[in-house]
Amino acid sequence: MAKRQANRKTKDSVFTHLFSFSRYQQELYRALHPEDRRKTINISDVSLRNVIAVHSYNDLGMIVNGKLMILVEAQSTWSNNIVIRLLMYLMESYNNYFTRIQANLYGSSKLSVPLPELYVIYTGKRKRKHSVSLSFREIFFKKKKCALDVKIKVLYGNKEQATGNIIEQYVAFSQIWDEQIKQYGKTEEAVRETIRI
């Protein structure tokens, strides 16, 4: 019998599966906004999904209490292009949102727009940490004037000041997974060892 191989997109699969559950979306929101002490947080999943047709999809999108749109991407390989992808996901998420609420984009009444927050959870290992935020304008246009900017907050697992929140747990899982794959290859043994650890 052939040995079973580990899913090559394990970290992505774990992230999207984990945050498909309301309970973990709540935990993520609380990790991003520890100042919000409300007992009831209403979260709607607005992630872009690529189910039948080929189109954009993202790791996680959610609207919190109808006022805040949070998009989160998990990355193990560094790329400044994540800024462009998140900008595109944001525009598509807004398009879907306005379509869903049947907003009149051509009317004279000002629309209520959920405030965007964009995040990248970086799980890779680089000796030099990048800044904690990325700016579309600064990365791609340096000091030139640009009619558009979007800022993304970069989140790292913080071993020095660990709180054990769900973001740090996911980063720790990803790093353990990478170590086991390096040691055992994409094998069932790597899966077992990651779960054991």
Which residues, other chains included, contact 62 with Cβ-Cβ below 8 Å and sequence gap of 6+? Answer: 25, 29, 43, 44, 45, 46, 47, 69, 70
Nearest to 133 by CA among 119, 116, 153: 153
- Of all residues in the chain, what percent carry a pLDDT higher than 90? 35
CA end-to-end span of the chain: 27
Alpha-carbon distance 175 to 123, whole Å? Answer: 7
- Lowest mean pLDDT across 3-7, 62-66, 68-72, 84-88: 3-7
Alpha-carbon distance 184 to 186, whole Å? Answer: 7
**Half-sphere exposure (Cβ direction) of 197: Cα atoms closer than 13 Å:** 16
Cβ atoms of 140 and 73 within 8 Å: the answer is: no
* More confident call, 83 vs 125: 83
- Of all residues in the chain, what percent carry a pLDDT higher than 70? 85
pLDDT score recorded for residue 114: 94
Cβ atoms of 156 and 119 within 8 Å: the answer is: no
- In the numeric block, the tokens 């998140």 are attached to 86
What is the Cα Rg of the chain in Å?
Answer: 19
Average pLDDT over residues 21-29: 91
Q: Name 115's bridge partners.
A: 68
pLDDT score recorded for residue 51: 46
* More confident call, 53 vs 93: 93
Is the pLDDT score of 40 beyond 70? yes
Type of residue at 82: I
